Amino acid sequence: MKLLVWMLFGVTIALMPFYTRAIINHDRGQPVTLAEILGDGELLVVSVVINAAAIGELMSKGEIPEHFKLAKVAVIGVSLALLCVMSTWFADVSSIHAGGAKLPDNHNMARESLAFFFATLVVSASSLALSEVEA
């Protein structure tokens, strides 16, 4: 049940700015493509927030059964690695925007940030599932 609530409210609402951007682009006659909607890297920030919340949920969980401890360490390790990569990547992309340098290709940015988003969903769902395991 916790995973369903997380998916419906946490993830769906976190993606609201992208739905809004698609509607605005459509209303203005601009393209509504993944590259246009996700090409600036903001999905990386959303992924970081979703991932951080799931790590917090797992870390706040007290003891878990001994046979799940390795899974907990692995999930936290992968989550932290994703957080570091996505945060650093977004910082780089946003500094390029601020500095006026040549921006990354928005098709690649959309595709790659979407891949990281789906990886985040898998790892975050794993964190939430592990947080529900009773000791």
Summarize pLDDT for 109-127 with one digit per residue, the tens. Answer: 999 999 999 999 999 999 9
Mean pLDDT of all residues belonging to the chain: 91
Q: What is the mean pLDDT of residues 44-57?
A: 94
Stated pTM of the model: 0.90
Report the alpha-carbon distance of residue 37 to residue 21 in Å, rounded.
6
What band does 105 get if pLDDT is binned at 50, 70 and 90?
A: confident
Q: What pLDDT score does 96 carry?
A: 82
Structural domain spans, the chain: 2-131
Higher per-residue pLDDT: 104 or 20: 20
Q: Is 83 within 8 Å of 116 (Cβ atoms)? A: no
